Amino acid sequence: MTTTLRPEGPETPTIAGGRTRRWRILANGRPVGALRTTSARHGNQLWGEISELEVFEGRGRGRGTFGALAAEEVLRSWGCTRVDVNVPERAPIARGLAATLGYTERMRNLGKSLATAPALPAGVTVRPIGAAEFPAWLDRAAEGYVASLMDSGLSEEQARAKSRLDHRNVLQQGAGSPGAALRRLYGADGAPEPLGSLWVELNLRELPDGTPLAWVMVVEVSPAHRGRGHGRTLMLLAERECLAAGVRELGLNVFSGNEVAVRLYDSLGYRVVNRCYGKPL
C-alpha cells in the first residue's frame, strides 16, 4: 500500500510573513486523512507548525506518523528551522505520537470558565499602567518573555524575534491599546515599588462557538516580593477584569518547565486545553 501527501488546495500567504497549505493523506490514491502546514517568520528565521492532523480511515496503521513526517519535510523545504504542534488534551494518542517523533512539550494552554468575581486580599491597591511608565514596563515584560521562550527550547534569536512580533501585534497603541487591561498591584504600606503587574487581553480571541475569550498575557511578580502569594492575587485580579468587561472565559499559556506557575493555576481551577510540542528541523 502506497501512502502519499498531496495538496488539497493552493498555498496562501499569512499575516506573519509565511504561508499555509492544507494537504490530504492518501492511501493508494484514496483520502484517509488530512493536515495543514504553516510557516511564520520570526526575525530572520522561519518557524513551522503542523495543525489539523487527522486520520479518519485506517487508524493504527502508521498514517498519522507518515503525515507528520511528510509535513516536516514540507516545512524543511519552505526553509523552516523548527516546528511546533498543538495537541488537544483530549487526544492522548496524538500526544504519544508527538513524543515518539522526538517532540518535547514546551507549553500548555489553560482555560477556566468564570462565574463570580473573586475578592482581592485586604489592603492591596490596583492602578493602571499609564503612558509614562509603559515603555519601561514593556521592556521588562519583553525580557521576561524572552527568557521563558529560551527555557522552553527556542534559540535567543527566535525568542527575541517572537517577543517583538507578539508585543508589536497586540499593543499597537501602547498603554491605551483597545482591549488591553494593563495593571499594577501595590501593597498597603504605600511603598512606590509595585508588587507585580498584569496584562490581560479582553478581546483578542474567541472560542470555536464564538464565545469571547480573554487571555492573560503577562503575570509578573517583582523579584523582591515573590513567594508571598502575589501571583495568586494577580490572577484573581485578571478574573475580575474579565468579568467587569463581560467576558466569562479566560485562558493563558504556561511554560511546562515553570512548575510553580503550573501548581498555582491548577489550584485556581484552570484546566489543560492543549499542549504545545516542538523540535528543531
CATH number assigned to the domain comprising residue 53? 3.40.630.30
What sign has the CA pseudo-torsion 223, 227, 230, 233? positive
- pLDDT of the residue at 33: 94
Residues 117, 78 share a domain:
no
Residues 84, 119 share a domain:
no
Residue 9, exposed/middle/buried by CB under 10 A (0-12, 13-18, 19+)? exposed
Single pTM value for the model: 0.84
Residue ending a domain, among 56, 81, 102, is 102
- pLDDT of the residue at 208: 73
Residue ending a domain, among 72, 102, 132, is 102
Residues 246, 224 share a domain:
yes
- pLDDT of the residue at 277: 95
Residues 257, 169 share a domain:
yes
- pLDDT of the residue at 1: 67
The rounded average pLDDT for each run of 10 residues, N- to C-terminus, in the chain (281 residues) is: 90 88 94 94 83 88 92 95 92 90 94 94 91 87 80 76 72 81 86 88 75 90 89 96 94 91 95 94 90
Report how many domains make up the chain: 2
Secondary structure of residue 232 in the 3-state scheme: helix
Secondary structure of residue 93 in the 3-state scheme: helix
Residues 142, 71 share a domain:
no
Q: What φ, ψ does residue 234 adopt, rounded to 5°?
A: -65, -35
Give CA 143 to chain center in angstroms: 17
Residues 153, 41 share a domain:
no
Distance CA 103, CA 239 (A): 33
Residues 119, 98 share a domain:
no
DSSP state of 176: G
- pLDDT of the residue at 204: 64
179-to-204, 236, 247, 273 alpha-carbon distances in Å: 8, 18, 11, 23
Domain containing residue 135: 112-276
Residues 132, 234 share a domain:
yes
Closest listed residue to residue 129, CA positions, set 194, 73, 224, 57: 194
- pLDDT of the residue at 197: 93
Distance CA 156, CA 258 (A): 18
Residues 268, 213 share a domain:
yes
Q: Which three cell numbers stand for residue 221?
A: 511578580
Single-letter amino acid, residue 262 = V
Q: Are 23 and 71 in contact (CB under 8 A)?
A: yes
DSSP state of 175: G
